[in-house]
Structure 1
Amino acid sequence: MRRVFTKAAGLAAVGLLAFATAQPSQADSPDNQSVRAAAEGPAYFVMTDITREQFVVKLTKPGDIEHARELVSGETADRPHLFTRIVKRTATYNPRWSFHANPDTTEFFDQAFEVCDATIPYVEDHLDEAGGAFLPGAAWCDWTSRLIREVPAP
């Protein structure tokens, strides 16, 4: 009897593993195409703020890319602002500025603490102070930030 129980448990485990690892088929609907495109690589978006300056952000996480596209298209207004940790060097896709947003730390938010709030040009003008008392930990959350459009990869 013990042997029968062991075999049944083993078959159940194999069946559960096969079910858990199976990938559902997806039709080529527009919704699935954008999810797949997001999974294929990074996406780039132009961000602006109250100063009307423009700053390009690179997004790499599929969920963030999809959310950004929904913001730009007007499908959602939830979590419209960007939080990120800045990197103090120019990125090829954002050559105007001496810093860029770390795509691994970028998230969207509705409200954040004041200590990370600064406009795009203010960060540029005070970049040497960033990471200390100004933008501790290089955390940046421009309260007036918003995405305005997606741009092609450089």
Structure 2
Amino acid sequence: MSNPVRFAFTQPSSPGVEFIIELTDESRIAHARRILSGEETMEIHVHGRIIKRTQPYNPKFSFHLDPSTIAFFTMAIEVCDANMMYVEDHLDEAGGAFLPGSHWCPWDSKLSREVK
């Protein structure tokens, strides 16, 4: 396990809003950096399990992604896709029919920067 590194991602469906994730796994941190450098062009979208609790590094949201579950994907099933603002507005429903298992995979997510 490595020191936590944070990254921001955006969604075109939520212009001007960033969601911050924290990675603790060295290989996932390296993968995220390859996405940002343009070296990784396939597995570029973020997915992970929602924890319904605010984190200091992501204060705009009432939830965050469990760092141990975050990975990157090319394609995913539709049932886990949602806009970050929609998730925030319907967080009480997440984990049921909406985002079963609290798994979130925003299809249009794109890492925008490493947070220093």
TM bucket (normalised to shorter chain) is over 0.9
Q: Which runs of 5+ in 2 are unaligned?
A: none
Q: What is the correspondence of 1:1-154 to structure 2 with a 5 Å cutoff? A: 40-50=2-12, 51-52=14-15, 53-152=17-116
Q: Give the aligned CA root-mean-square deviation in angstroms.
A: 1.0
Aligned partners of 2:8, 2:47: CA distance in 1, in Å? 14
Structure 1: give runs of 5+ residues left out of the alignment.
Answer: 1-38
Q: Relative to total residues, which structure has the larger helix share, 1 or 2?
A: 1
Greater strand fraction, Structure 1 or Structure 2: 2
Q: Larger Cα Rg: Structure 1 or Structure 2?
A: 1
Calculate the TM-score normalised by the size of structure 2: 0.94
Residue correspondences, number: 114
Using the aligned pairs only, state the percent identity: 52
State the distance in 2 between where 1:87 and 1:138 align: 8
Structure 1 runs (4+) greater than 6 angstroms displaced: none
**Equivalent residues of 2:7, 2:114 under 8 A apart:** yes
Q: Which has the higher contact order (CA 8 A, sep 6+)?
A: 2
Question: Is the Cα–Cα contact under 8 Å of residues 47 and 72 in structure 2 kept in the other structure?
Answer: yes
Offset from partner CA, 1:96-146 (integer Å, 9 cap, x none):
100001101111100000000001101001000000000000000000001
Q: Could you say what secondary structure the match of 1:147 adopts?
A: strand
TM, length-normalised to structure 1: 0.72
